[in-house]
Every structure is written in structure tokens, then in C-alpha cells.
């Protein structure tokens, strides 16, 4: 991910790339949250278990993430009103709460840290593709076209973008994985190659855990703050 004029001030705050967190939903599942088959996926926890989201954010921060992503990939006004039986206004507030949870967790994490030159972590708004809220895999196949007009797709995305932006999150521009023909290198092994290509953000997605992020940070910077930071986050989750 190359630097842009918009993001450059956020990135020029220290040496090396910013490390993005991993798979929030899969980390929540590893902590016991039941997400499989849920049309709202991890976004439901904004309504039912926000503390679990805070704890997962905290674990990624302890592992060395410089950027944490909101639990809003599957969040939309349409999806929340359909599956939670709440009003559009309540749905709007729920989307915004994803940013609040992340920002509050960053604040408490920094308060827990000993004085250091560590960068203050950023919050990135996670916005799923047009078909994500349909919960039928159409964000991967493009088959949502038959069910949604262009106007409806625009409304779903713009509603989410507006509430995340106005509530103080940044928007990452990501690139998908490309699987090598012969082997799959670890994210830490590939990180130096990505750095040499000018990447300003390096992180993971599904199945990338705090342990992977700690390994990534060690590969890039040599160590993480404290010993076995990902385990430290498991032992002492964030609590208000």
C-alpha cells in the first residue's frame, strides 16, 4: 500500500510501516463467540457483547498492532434493522459505536503502557463490499446484482462510510492476498519484501491472530513492547 497525500501525515510518525491488526472475527471466535451462520457476523456483537470486541482489540494492540479495525465489516442500517429489529436511528448509532469501542480501547491501552516512544494506534473503519450484508457469499461472487439495484448498493455503502468517517476513523485501501504457486509464505517472511516495495501498512485478515501480529512486529522491528505481548493481552484483557 503506497503512501497518499491523505494518509501521509498519519504514517510519518515513526520509522517503518504501520502494522495493521489481523482477523477480528476469527479472533472473536477463538475467544468463544458464536459467529458462524449469523447474518450479521461479528457486527452482532456491537449489540450483544461489545466487551468481547474491546478485549479482541486490546489483544491485537498488546501484540503490537499500530492500527485496529472496527467491527463493522458486516454492519449496515439495512442489516441491523432486518436482523436486530431496531430502528434506522438505532442502527446508525450501532455503526458509530464500532468506532467508539475501538477508540476507547486505544485510549485505555495507551494509559496501561509504560512511557515509551510507541506510536499512538490508529482506528480504521472496516467497510464490507456491497453484498456483505446479504450474507450469501455474494461479495465474493458478485451475484448480489440480481437482488440489489445500484441505488440500493450505494445507500448501503454510503450509510456505513458516513457514520464511520464522521465518528473519527480512517479508511484503509487494501490489496488482497495472492497465493504463490508452490508455497504460502508466512506474513512475517513476506513483510520485508513488502517493506522494500514501499508498503506503508502491513497486516492481516481472517485467521491472522495476535500471535501472528507479534511475529510480524518482531520481524520488522526486532521486538514487541514487553515479553510475549500477545499472551499478555490474553492474560489481562481490557476492562473499564
Q: Give the pLDDT band of residue 189 (cuts 50, 70, 90).
A: confident
In a domain, residue 209? The reply is yes
pLDDT of 158 strictly over 60: no
CATH number at residue 90: 3.20.20.330
Range of the domain at 18: 8-235
Q: How many domains is the chain built from?
A: 1
Q: Give the pLDDT band of residue 184 (cuts 50, 70, 90).
A: very low
Report the mean per-residue pLDDT for the chain: 77
In a domain, residue 1? The reply is no
Q: Which residue's entry shows cell 470486541?
A: 53
The arithmetic mean of pLDDT across residues 66-81, rounded, is 93
In a domain, residue 24? The reply is yes
Nine cell digits for residue 170: 480512517
In a domain, residue 2? The reply is no
In a domain, residue 3? The reply is no
Residue 138 and residue 100: Cα distance in Å, rounded?
A: 29
The arithmetic mean of pLDDT across residues 9-19, rounded, is 71
Provide the pLDDT for residue 160: 52
Q: Give the pLDDT band of residue 187 (cuts 50, 70, 90).
A: low
pLDDT single digits (tens) 87-143:
999 999 999 999 999 999 999 999 998 877 788 899 999 987 766 666 666 665 666
pLDDT of 200 strictly over 80: yes
Kindly report the number of other CB atoms within 10 A of residue 231's CB atom.
16
Residue 194 and residue 17: Cα distance in Å, rounded?
A: 10
**Contact status, residue 90 vs residue 97, Cβ threshold 8 Å:** no
In a domain, residue 240? The reply is no
Residue 175 and residue 2: Cα distance in Å, rounded?
A: 11
Residue 84 and residue 140: Cα distance in Å, rounded?
A: 25
In a domain, residue 38? The reply is yes
pLDDT of 173 strictly over 50: no
Q: Is the pTM of this model over 0.95?
A: no
Amino acid at each position: 500500500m503506497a503512501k497518499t497525500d491523505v494518509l501521509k501525515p498519519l504514517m510519518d510518525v515513526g520509522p517503518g510501516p504501520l502494522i495493521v491488526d489481523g482477523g477480528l472475527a476469527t479472533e472473536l471466535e477463538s475467544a468463544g463467540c458464536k459467529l458462524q451462520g449469523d447474518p450479521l457476523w461479528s457486527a452482532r456483537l456491537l449489540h450483544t457483547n461489545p466487551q468481547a470486541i474491546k478485549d479482541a482489540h486490546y489483544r491485537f494492540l498488546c501484540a503490537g498492532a499500530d492500527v485496529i479495525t472496527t467491527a463493522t465489516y458486516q454492519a449496515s442500517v439495512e442489516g441491523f434493522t432486518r436482523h436486530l429489529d431496531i430502528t434506522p436511528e438505532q442502527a446508525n448509532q450501532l455503526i458509530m459505536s464500532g468506532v467508539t469501542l475501538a477508540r476507547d480501547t486505544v485510549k485505555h491501552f495507551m494509559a496501561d503502557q509504560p512511557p515509551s516512544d510507541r506510536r499512538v494506534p490508529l482506528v480504521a473503519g472496516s467497510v464490507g463490499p456491497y453484498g456483505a450484508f446479504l450474507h450469501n457469499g455474494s461479495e465474493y461472487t458478485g451475484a448480489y446484482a440480481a437482488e440489489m439495484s445500484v441505488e440500493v448498493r450505494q445507500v448501503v455503502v454510503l450509510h456505513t462510510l458516513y457514520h464511520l468517517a464522521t465518528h473519527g476513523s480512517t479508511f484503509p485501501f487494501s490489496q488482497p492476498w495472492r497465493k504463490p504457486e508452490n508455497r504460502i509464505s508466512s506474513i512475517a517472511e513476506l513483510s520485508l519484501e513488502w517493506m522494500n516495495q514501499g508498503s506503508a501498512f502491513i497486516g492481516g485478515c481472517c485467521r491472522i491472530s495476535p500471535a501472528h501480529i507479534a511475529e510480524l512486529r518482531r520481524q520488522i522491528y526486532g521486538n514487541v513492547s514487553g515479553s510475549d505481548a500477545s499472551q499478555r493481552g490474553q492474560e489481562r484483557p481490557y476492562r473499564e
